[in-house]
């Protein structure tokens, strides 16, 4: 390492022969790669005493910095030469502005589902996913939905055969979860569901988040607290809320939750909830005398439409950039 100029001259000589970027990379590897000349010199420093190590390391670093600068300048030169050749042979006007690059972003449905998952995760809920193709036991029978219930008809449900269907709700995961786990459980299930319906506010496929808790000391007040705080979190402002009596086969008592639209002064339904029916607990061999459960179901598209004043549910699936760009 005593002759600093010889190293630099050697590099300069080889750089002058580099005509392409690949040649430059090969040369860089020769000197600065894992087994390069300069790298090997650094490795030998550990064999020296402290005084010699300090003295020699200064020299090696000096050479390394100089070589790096030479490589940078050569790379810049090759890049400019390529641009000049392109401009010469293809008549490219470099003064023109570049084409606009449209960067993608997260879809509003995915974004809001992630926000919902984050809210319930902080409350100790586990996030589970279930099959989209279900059988009638998990989708209907075990949830206390009788054989003659209208939701089983083909005008409401997509059937593959007499027993297999596209799930109409993520509530089926209540049964699957309780079959595999003993209480207490606290779970939310986001996912796609399917119903044979199509209109401005309904789609054959939409997203739902089912949530449920099964524990020894759960009551309707707990459910009301969770739902009230969720709506405050989701809409980012306080609405007047009412719990209206309703009916679901798998909960009793059951309620629909409405919010008061301050502009139109009308009540708008946002989600359904209730205490899990004792028969549903019995179907999975959970004692309704020992354990109590509450459940809720959130239609994602519905509450997003209310939040952002979107009138047509099909807008979510058209890939219309005029809509999607509003949420980037």
Which tens digits make up the pLDDT trace of 180-219?
Answer: 988 899 999 999 999 888 777 778 899 999 999 999 989 9
**pLDDT of amino acid 166:** 93
Q: How far apart are CA 155 and CA 180, in angstroms?
A: 33
Q: What is the mean pLDDT of the chain?
A: 87
Q: What is the mean pLDDT of residues 68-92?
A: 80
Are β-strands 185-194 and 126-127 bridged in parallel, bridged antiparallel, or unpaired? Answer: parallel
Residue 58 falls in which region: left (phi positive, over 0), alpha (psi -120 to 50) or beta = alpha
Q: What is the mean pLDDT of residues 259-287?
A: 89
Residue 236 has pLDDT above 60, yes or no: yes
Q: What is the mean pLDDT of residues 54-74?
A: 87
**pLDDT-based confidence at residue 3 (cuts at 50, 70, 90):** low
Residue 2 has pLDDT above 60, yes or no: no
Which of the two residues, 88 and 70, has the higher pLDDT score? 70
Asked if residue 174 lies in contact with residue 210, where contact means CB atoms within 8 angstroms, the answer is yes
**pLDDT of amino acid 91:** 66
Tokens 């087994």 sit on residue: 35
Which tens digits make up the pLDDT trace of 102-138?
Answer: 677 788 999 999 999 999 999 999 999 999 999 999 9
SS3 string, the chain, reads CCCHHHHHHHHHHHHCCCCCHHHHHHHHHHHHCCCCHHHHHHHHHHHCCHHHHHHHHHHHHHHHHHHHHHHHHHHHHHHHHHHHHHHHHHCCCCCCCCCCCCCCCCCHHHHHHHHHHHHHHHCCCEECCCCCEEEHHHHCHHHCCCCCCHHHCCCCCCECCCCEEECCCCCHHHHHHHHHCCCCEEEEEEEEEECCCCCCCCCCEEEEEEEEEEECCCCHHHHHHHHHHHHHHHHCCCCCEEEEEEEECCEEEEEEEEEEECCCCEEEEEEEEEEECHHHHHHCCCCCCCCEEEEEEEEHHHHHHHHHCCCCHHHHHCCCHHHHHHHC
**pLDDT-based confidence at residue 229 (cuts at 50, 70, 90):** very high
**pLDDT of amino acid 92:** 65
Residues listed for the chain: 328
Q: What is the mean pLDDT of residues 247-266?
A: 87
**pLDDT of amino acid 328:** 66
**Buried b or exposed e, range 291-307, using 16+ CB within 10 angstroms:** bbbbbbbbbbbbbbbbe
**Most confident among 8-17, 78-87, 170-179 (mean pLDDT):** 170-179
Asked if residue 192 lies in contact with residue 200, where contact means CB atoms within 8 angstroms, the answer is no
**pLDDT of amino acid 1:** 47
Whether the ω angle into residue 14 lies within 30 degrees of 0, i.e. cis, is: no
Q: CA–CA distance from 36 to each of 1, 12, 100, 133, 281 (Å)?
A: 15, 16, 42, 58, 70
CATH annotation of 108-327: 3.30.930.10
Residue 67 has pLDDT above 50, yes or no: yes
**pLDDT of amino acid 84:** 77
Q: What is the mean pLDDT of residues 258-277?
A: 87
**pLDDT of amino acid 177:** 93
Asked if residue 270 lies in contact with residue 230, where contact means CB atoms within 8 angstroms, the answer is no
Structural domain spans, the chain: 4-90, 108-327
Whether the ω angle into residue 184 lies within 30 degrees of 0, i.e. cis, is: yes
**pLDDT of amino acid 90:** 65
Nearest in space to 258 (alpha carbons), one of 244, 246, 247 = 244
Nearest in space to 94 (alpha carbons), one of 86, 102, 104, 105 = 86
Q: What angle do CA 128, 133, 138 make, to 5 degrees?
A: 70
Residue 248 has pLDDT above 60, yes or no: yes
pTM, entire model: 0.66
Residue 52 has pLDDT above 60, yes or no: yes
Tokens 């979860």 sit on residue: 177
**pLDDT-based confidence at residue 44 (cuts at 50, 70, 90):** confident
Q: Kindly report the number of other CB atoms within 10 A of residue 238's CB atom.
A: 10
């Amino acid at each position: 390492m005593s002759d600093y100029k010889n190293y630099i001259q050697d590099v300069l000589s080889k750089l002058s022969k580099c005509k392409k970027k690949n040649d430059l990379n090969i040369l860089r590897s020769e000197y600065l790669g894992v087994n390069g000349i300069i790298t090997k010199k650094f490795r030998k420093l550990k064999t020296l005493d402290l005084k010699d190590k300090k003295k020699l390391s200064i020299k090696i670093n000096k050479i390394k910095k100089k070589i790096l600068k030479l490589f940078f300048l050569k790379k810049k030169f090759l890049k400019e030469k390529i641009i000049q050749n392109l401009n010469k042979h293809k008549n490219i006007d470099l003064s023109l502005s570049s084409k606009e690059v449209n960067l993608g972003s997260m879809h509003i449905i995915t974004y809001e589902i992630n926000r919902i998952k984050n809210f319930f995760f902080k409350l100790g809920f586990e996030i589970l996913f279930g099959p989209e193709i279900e059988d009638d036991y998990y989708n209907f029978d075990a949830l206390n939905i009788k054989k003659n219930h209208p939701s089983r008809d083909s005008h409401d449900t997509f059937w593959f055969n007499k027993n297999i269907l596209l799930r109409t709700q993520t509530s089926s995961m209540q049964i699957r979860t309780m079959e595999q786990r003993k209480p207490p459980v606290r779970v939310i299930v986001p996912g796609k569901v399917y119903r044979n319906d199509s209109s401005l506010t309904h789609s054959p496929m939409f997203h739902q988040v089912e949530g449920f808790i099964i524990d020894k000391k759960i009551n309707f007040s707990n459910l009301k607290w969770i739902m009230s705080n969720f709506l405050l979190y989701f809409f980012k402002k306080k609405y007047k809320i009412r719990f209206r009596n309703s009916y679901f086969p798998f909960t009793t008592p059951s309620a629909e939750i409405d919010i008061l639209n301050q502009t139109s002064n009308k009540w708008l339904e946002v989600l359904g909830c209730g205490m899990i029916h004792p028969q549903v607990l019995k179907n999975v061999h959970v004692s309704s005398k020992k354990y109590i459960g509450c459940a809720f179901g959130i239609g994602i598209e519905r509450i997003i439409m209310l939040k952002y004043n979107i009138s047509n549910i099909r807008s979510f699936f058209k890939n219309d950039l005029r809509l999607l760009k509003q949420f980037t």
